[in-house]
Amino acid sequence: MENQGRKVAVVGMGGAFPTCADLNDFSEKLFSNKSLIRVWDEAVSFDKQVRSKVSGYITDAEMNLETIYSTIVANYPEVYVDLLNRIPTSNLATADMGSIWAMLATKEAIKMAGWSEKEVQSEGTGVIIGSGGCGHAILRPAWHHVFQLGGKSRSPGAHTVDRGMVYREAANVSCLIKNRGVVETIVSACATGLGNIGHAYRLIKFGAQDRVITGGVETTSIESLFGFDSMAVLSRGFAPEESSRPFDVNRNGFVCSFGAGLVCLEEYEMAKNRGAKILGVIDNYFNNSDGDGDMFYPSFGGQRRLWKGLLGDSGIRPDVVKVHGTSTPAGDPIELFSVVDVLGDSGYHISAPKSQFGHMLGAAGAVEFITAILMLQKQMVLPCLNANDLNAELENIQKSPDWNGPVEPMNSYRHLLPQQSFQKEVNTVACLNYGFGGTNSAMLVSKDVS
Known catalytic residue: 359? yes
Q: Could you tell me if residue 409 is inside a domain? A: no
The DSSP output letter for 147 is I
Q: Could you tell me if residue 372 is inside a domain? A: yes
Short-list 348, 347, 352, CA closest to 335 = 352
Total count of domains within the chain: 1
- Which long-range CB contacts under 8 A does 57-61 form with residues at least 24 apart? 57/18, 57/220, 57/257, 57/258, 58/16, 58/17, 58/18, 58/101, 58/220, 58/258, 58/259, 59/220, 60/97
Q: Could you tell me if residue 13 is inside a domain? A: yes
Catalytic residue among 20, 359, 384, 431: 359
Known catalytic residue: 324? yes
Output the domain CATH number for residue 172: 3.40.47.10
Per-residue pLDDT for the chain (450 aa), expressed as one digit of tens each? 445 679 999 999 999 999 999 999 999 999 999 999 999 999 999 999 999 999 999 999 999 999 999 999 999 999 999 999 999 999 999 999 999 999 999 999 999 999 999 999 999 999 999 999 999 999 999 999 999 999 999 999 999 999 999 999 999 999 999 999 999 999 999 999 999 999 999 999 999 999 999 999 999 999 999 999 999 999 999 999 999 999 999 999 999 999 999 999 999 999 999 999 999 999 999 999 999 999 999 999 999 999 999 999 999 999 999 999 999 999 999 999 999 999 999 999 999 999 999 999 999 999 999 999 999 999 999 999 999 999 999 999 999 999 999 999 999 999 999 999 999 999 999 999 999 999 999 999 999 997
- Residue 309: Cβ-neighbour burial (10 angstroms; 0-12, 13-18, 19+): middle
Q: Could you tell me if residue 407 is inside a domain? A: no
Q: Could you tell me if residue 405 is inside a domain? A: no
In the beta sheet, which residues pair with residue 431?
A: 322, 443
| DSSP-derived secondary structure for 316-355 | ---SEEE------TTHHHHHHHHHHHHH-SSS-EEE-THH
CA angle 246, 248, 250 (to 5 degrees): 120
Predicted local distance difference test score (pLDDT) of residue 5: 74
Element (H, E) at 69: strand 65-69
pTM: 0.98
- Expressed in percent and rounded to 5, the helix, strand and coil fractions of the chain are 35, 20, 45
Pair 263, 10: CB distance under 8 Å: yes
Q: Could you tell me if residue 356 is inside a domain? A: yes
Find the domain containing 154 and state its range.
8-399+415-446
Pair 155, 78: CB distance under 8 Å: no
Catalytic residue among 20, 134, 175, 190: 190
Q: Could you tell me if residue 3 is inside a domain? A: no
Catalytic residue among 324, 349, 384, 431: 324
